[in-house]
Every structure is written in C-alpha cells, then in structure tokens.
Amino acid sequence: MGDEKGHEYRFKVDGKIYESPTNPISGSKIKADAGVPANYQLFLEGKGKDSDRAISDSESVDLAGEMKNFYAAPPATFG
C-alpha cells in the first residue's frame, strides 16, 4: 500500500491507545496487539448514530484518518 516507513497508525481498544506501522490492519492483528484473547469478539464503535460493527479476525480495517475505537467482548455475552 506504499505507507511511509516509520509512520505509525493509532487506534484504541477498550480505551487504551495502540500503534501499528501497517495499514490496513486485520481484526486478528488488532486483538493480538492489544492482548485480547483470540476467542473474544472485536467491535468498531460507530460514530454518532451509526451502529457499532463486529470486526472478524480476517477483516481489514483502514486506520487512516480519525482514530478508530474498538472494544472486545468475551464469547457468549450476546444473544
């Protein structure tokens, strides 16, 4: 994708800021960087009236622009 070497992309998971030298980044890499257990579900917080969105392990997320806020939830907490 041609990102500048040394550029860091910032994102939050459960309120803590993390940095990644690569963009886009996969859901599994976000969880790994934040120390989130692999079996937890990752969610991207929606802006304004937008709904929060589940992020799969294989889904790529673009970290450019505004900082993205994620949260993790243990399995079987929904439904």
pLDDT over threshold 50, residue 2? no
Q: Say if domain 9-73 classifies as CATH 2.30.40.
A: no
* Phi and psi at residue 34, to the nearest 5°: -90, 0
pLDDT of residue 32: 97
pLDDT of residue 75: 86
3-state secondary structure 12-59: EECCEEEEECCCCEEHHHHHHHHCCCCCCEEEECCCCCCCCEEECCCC
Global pTM? 0.85
| Mean pLDDT computed over 4-28 | 90
